[in-house]
Amino acid sequence: MKYRRLGRTNFEVSEIGYGAWGIGGKQWLGGSDDESLAALGRAIDLGVNLIDTALAYGDGHSEKLVGQVVRGAGHKIYVATKVPPRNRIWPAQRGIGIEQVFPYDYIVRSAEESLRNLGLDAIDLLQLHVWSPEWIGREEWRRAFEDVKGAGKVRAVGISLTDHDPDSGLEAVRSGLIDTVQAIYNIFDQSPENALLPLCQIENVGVLARVPLDEGGLSGHLDENTKFAPGDFRDFYFRGGRKKQVAEHVNALRKDLGGDASLPEIALRFCLSHPAVSSVIPGMRTQRHAESNTAVSDQGPLPAETLGILKRHAWNRNFYS
């Protein structure tokens, strides 16, 4: 496993982090807590030292599992979590004031609740789970971040950017008030490369690349006959004719790449090929996923020829809406 500096923090984090949404047990169905704990433990054994969770993932269940494993790890594991919007609307809607989403007291209480769930002395990275550029000048989030850091409850702070809208975070990055941003970045959505990633390099802001496998679309296992359980998030995300669309795009991508390249490996290496990315955080609900994903760090960045091929497969769409 290779490690990179997380922006202006002094955290040296694993290139492959652990995305813990899928172990919350509420929106990603199937699996068990025992399986999740085993996958977390295996990922840590293989060098992962960054876990990204959230208070909203299973109403704290993901945090509790993460805390259990981290407390028993025997060495430093960096834990990132997120404050959910008080109005429970993802993504943030323009025109809705921050007082309805992230009032000062609510941010502080949420951080304290996450700390209780995790059972840790401090949160390494606290992020706002949604963001609107309309809030940049408001004091609620600024003061809350200052106070939880000043109290020693949080070490670094950041924001999670709106789906497929990386430019919504540009002012926040320039402000000097945040240490990290989290953004969707994958072969299909390459838009962070236009402005966000270069700016983060200039401002020394860490980048967590989320959804690197497009919620499973870039896993290579999805086709139009794939079935998800009712209530599973993926049943919504890939609803209607979307599975067929994804399969067509993936088949075209595979044809251009040629050979027997592993699509998940290519997808993760694509993210790590950009020097602004501090860590990529795929979900890993099984030990097998932990083993295959962590092995990617040893492969290094993709060659320029392959990146040139992937550029042609950017796909402008939003399956979250």
**pLDDT, tens digit, 9 for 90 and up, residues 53-76:** 999 999 999 999 999 999 999 999
* pLDDT value of residue 315: 97
Number of domains in the chain: 1
- Is residue 194 domain-resident? yes
B/e letters for 38-69, b = 16+ CB within 10 Å, e = fewer, are bbbbbbbebebbbbbbbbbbbebbbbbbbbeb
pTM exceeding 0.95: yes
Residue among 267, 314, 315 nearest 293 (CA): 267
Answer whether residue 20 is part of any domain: yes
pLDDT at 275: 98
Q: How far apart are CA 17 and CA 4, in angstroms?
A: 11
Query: Which amino acid does the sequence have at 234?
Result: R
Q: Which amino acid is at 133?
A: P
CATH code of the domain in which 44 resides = 3.20.20.100
Q: How large is the C-alpha radius of gyration of the chain?
A: 19
For 164-215, write each residue's pLDDT tens digit: 999 999 999 999 999 999 999 999 999 999 999 999 999 999 999 999 999 9
Q: Are 189 and 234 in contact (CB under 8 A)?
A: no
143 within some domain: yes
State the first-to-last Cα distance of the chain, in angstroms, to the nearest integer: 36
Does some domain include residue 319?
Answer: no
**Separation between Cα atoms, residue 211 and residue 194, nearest integer Å:** 18
State the alpha helices, DSSP H only, in 163-209: 170-175, 196-203
The rounded mean pLDDT for the chain is: 96
Q: What is the mean pLDDT of residues 272-279?
A: 98
Strand-pairing partners, residue 208, are 182, 279
Matching residue, tokens 């399969």: 247
Q: Which residue has the tokens 């998800």?
A: 228
Domain for residue 320, yes or no?
no
pLDDT per residue as tens digits for the range 126-152 = 999 999 999 999 999 999 999 999 999
Cβ proximity of 56 and 318 under 8 Å: no
The answer to whether residue 21 is domain-embedded is yes
Residue 317's pLDDT is 95
Q: pLDDT digits over 247-268, tens only?
A: 999 999 999 998 777 999 999 9
Give domain status of residue 238, yes or no. yes
Range of the domain at 126: 3-311
**Residue 280 DSSP class:** E
The verdict on residue 316 lying in a domain is no
